[in-house]
């Protein structure tokens, strides 16, 4: 049932010029006592979301410093993914929780995948709720079990969190983006606060010339001589693409030449994604200046890089957000940013200094117009945002944090 994921090679030394020598030296020193540590990452999907993006970089860097890390993805059917998407939404505050039959489906698929897990790991890291129950069936297969939560648990559905917390208590450690996400009931458990990070050398984030970015955007029908607003995210109610369209419409009344690109990725473990994609298309109502694109339109990492690099304003108008890697991606490209004042976004955006935080389509429109009308302001926000990401949200810092956790398991 468990599917191993093949990974490429990365060298920590390549990150020295962006992360700084002191951090790289600290990582090397920490890893000296961890040579040969056997670490398994378990997740629900290998593409289409932030967890996968993080692991494609993090695990090769673990290899480079001497950790024997692997990544396996649990397999399920449509009924399981429907249940886990509902669970994801409930944990982020949706009033509808799972019924008894749905909880039984969740448990059954976790048990089925647990049967395929081999023994002998020093550390097993389970990412997000989908594979959370695997540990219950094979606790002895890992010397240390860590649950890594990537979602916003600040205002969860009570029934959903009541089902999840007993599972988490069985783990040796847990990791959350923010202290606000740690649910009651974990008092006394070993909880780590560790925000995620982006790979500055990945195709999505590497330096792009303005000419190359404009060329790529032109291939998708964008007029590169007109201002562009852009949001990159899954098609998900919590990402509020319809609110972005509403904000764009307000901007367009003042600045008719503006365009909007909504760029997303359809993930295997997100069955309602297509339904919401179609709803977003309907909300755009055929506006030729609203470009709604996804990975099935041949939009990959390079194309996302181009859209973000070309945008005059990058938006992430989430109403719930565990962290939002696209925020740091935009800031790393020195683009002016407007985002929802929720979850992990304020961790990345210092309002008025590295971008703007907003709570409504009207506020989003007002801040976007302010940036579009004042290019110097946009450049100033962008420069500050890039340095904030450099100091806090690049992958080597995330690797260091994991090595600290592993030090307790070694």
pLDDT digits (tens, 9 = 90+) for 386-395: 999 999 999 9
Q: Which fold has domain 3-197+394-409?
A: Rossmann fold (3.40.50)
Same fold for the domain at 3-197+394-409 and the one at 210-392? yes
DSSP 8-state secondary structure symbol assigned to residue 326 = H
Q: What is the pLDDT of residue 71?
A: 98
DSSP 8-state secondary structure symbol assigned to residue 223 = -
As a whole number of angstroms, the distance between CA 163 and CA 158 comes to 9
Q: What is the pLDDT of residue 282?
A: 96
The domain limits of the chain are: 3-197+394-409, 210-392
- Report helix, strand or coil for 231: strand
Q: What is the pLDDT of residue 267?
A: 63
As a whole number of angstroms, the distance between CA 249 and CA 238 comes to 20
As a whole number of angstroms, the distance between CA 333 and CA 308 comes to 8
pTM given for the model: 0.92
Q: What is the pLDDT of residue 369?
A: 98
How distant, in Å, are the alpha carbons of 31, 35, 64, 125 from that of 68?
Answer: 12, 8, 9, 13
Using alpha carbons only, what angle is made at residue 243 by residues 239 and 249, rounded to the nearest 5 degrees?
140
What is the token pair recorded at 159?
């029934």
Using alpha carbons only, what angle is made at residue 128 by residues 127 and 134, rounded to the nearest 5 degrees?
70
Which residue do the tokens 């007109």 mark?
226
Q: Which residue, 305, 334, 311, 295, is CA-closest to 224?
A: 311
Exposure b/e, 368-397, CB count within 10 A at least 16 = b:
bbebbeeeeebeebbebbbebbbeebbbbb
CATH architecture of 210-392: 3-Layer(aba) Sandwich (3.40)
What is the token pair recorded at 347?
């961790």
Pairing of strands 68-73, 3-4: antiparallel
What is the token pair recorded at 279?
């709803």
Contacts of 280 by beta carbon, 8 Å cutoff, 6+ apart: 235, 241, 242, 245, 262, 292
Q: Which residue, 195, 236, 233, 263, is CA-closest to 85?
A: 236
What is the token pair recorded at 308?
């973000």
Which regions in the chain score pLDDT beneath 70? 1, 48, 188, 267-271, 410
Pairing of strands 259-263, 173-176: unpaired
């Amino acid at each position: 049932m468990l599917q191993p994921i093949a990974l490429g090679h990365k060298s920590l030394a390549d990150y020295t010029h962006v992360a700084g020598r002191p951090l790289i030296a600290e990582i090397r020193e920490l890893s000296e006592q961890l040579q040969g540590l056997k670490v398994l990452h378990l997740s629900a999907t290998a593409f289409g979301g932030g967890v996968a993006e993080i692991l494609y970089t993090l695990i090769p860097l673990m290899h480079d410093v001497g950790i024997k890390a692997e990544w396996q993805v649990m397999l399920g059917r449509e009924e399981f993914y429907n249940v886990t998407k509902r669970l994801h939404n409930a944990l982020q505050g949706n009033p509808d929780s799972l019924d008894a039959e749905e909880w039984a489906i969740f448990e059954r698929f976790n048990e089925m995948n647990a049967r395929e897990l081999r023994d002998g790991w020093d550390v097993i890291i389970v990412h997000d709720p989908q594979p959370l129950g695997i540990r219950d069936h094979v606790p002895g297969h890992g010397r240390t079990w860590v649950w890594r939560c990537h979602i916003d648990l600040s205002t969860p559905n009570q029934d959903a969190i009541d089902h999840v917390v007993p599972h988490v208590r069985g783990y040796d450690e847990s990791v959350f983006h923010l202290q606000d996400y740690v649910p009651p009931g974990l008092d006394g458990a070993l909880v780590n606060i560790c925000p995620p990070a982006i790979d500055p050398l990945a195709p999505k984030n590497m330096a792009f010339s303005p000419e190359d970015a404009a060329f790529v955007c032109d291939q998708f029908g964008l007029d590169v001589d007109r201002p562009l607003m852009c949001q990159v995210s899954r098609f998900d109610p919590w990402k509020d693409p319809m609110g972005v369209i509403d904000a764009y419409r307000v901007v367009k009344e003042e600045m008719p030449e503006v365009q909007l690109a909504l760029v997303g990725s359809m993930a295997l473990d997100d069955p309602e994604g297509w339904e919401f994609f179609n709803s977003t298309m309907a909300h755009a109502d055929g506006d030729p200046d609203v470009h709604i694109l996804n990975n099935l339109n041949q939009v990959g990492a390079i194309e996302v890089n181009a859209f973000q690099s070309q945008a005059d304003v990058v938006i992430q108008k989430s109403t719930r957000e565990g962290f939002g890697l696209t925020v740091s991606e935009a800031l790393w490209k020195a683009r002016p940013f407007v985002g929802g004042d929720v979850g992990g976004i304020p961790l990345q955006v210092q309002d008025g200094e590295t971008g703007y935080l907003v709570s409504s389509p009207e506020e989003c429109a007002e801040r976007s117009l302010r940036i579009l009308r004042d290019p110097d302001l946009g450049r100033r926000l962008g420069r500050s945002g890039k340095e904030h990401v450099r100091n806090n949200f690049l992958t080597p810092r995330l690797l260091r944090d994991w090595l600290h956790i592993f030090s307790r398991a070694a």
